[in-house]
Amino acid sequence: GENVEQHPSTLSVQEGDSAVIKCTYSDSASNYFPWYKQELGKGPQLIIDIRSNVGEKKDQRIAVTLNKTAKHFSLHITETQPEDSAVYFCAASMNDFGNEKLTFGTGTRLTIIP
């Protein structure tokens, strides 16, 4: 089955700086890669996703890049703000009928230092 590794497990950055979280996956058939943000006491919430037919996707201060050859994808947050402090999870799936399961990374706790 799919295996997703996520690094780093904790990350602290100064407010206004950029943060980068990286994930690698094992199954070359995976073609859907979402990122979730989880605030304290809440369920994970989708913040951005990318499919294998594109290499980069951007939404305001958040971007995701995908390298299918190397089987890794990254989350980039620019101009970080205190409200970006949370746990971030990457995930991967094949998103095909009969195999609709996401495999999650172990999470990154991001702390923004004011």
Q: Contact, 76 vs 57, CB < 8 A?
A: no
Q: How far is the CB of 109 from other proteins (least distance, A)?
A: 10
Q: Contact, 4 vs 36, CB < 8 A?
A: no
Binding piece for other proteins, criterion CB under 8 A, among 17-25, 35-43, 55-63, 78-86: 35-43
**Could you say which DSSP state residue 51 is in?**
E
Binding piece for other proteins, criterion CB under 8 A, among 22-30, 43-51, 62-70, 73-81: 43-51
Residue spans of alpha helices (H) in the chain: none
For other proteins, the binding residues in 48-67 under the rule CB under 8 A are 49
For other proteins, the binding residues in 12-31 under the rule CB under 8 A are none
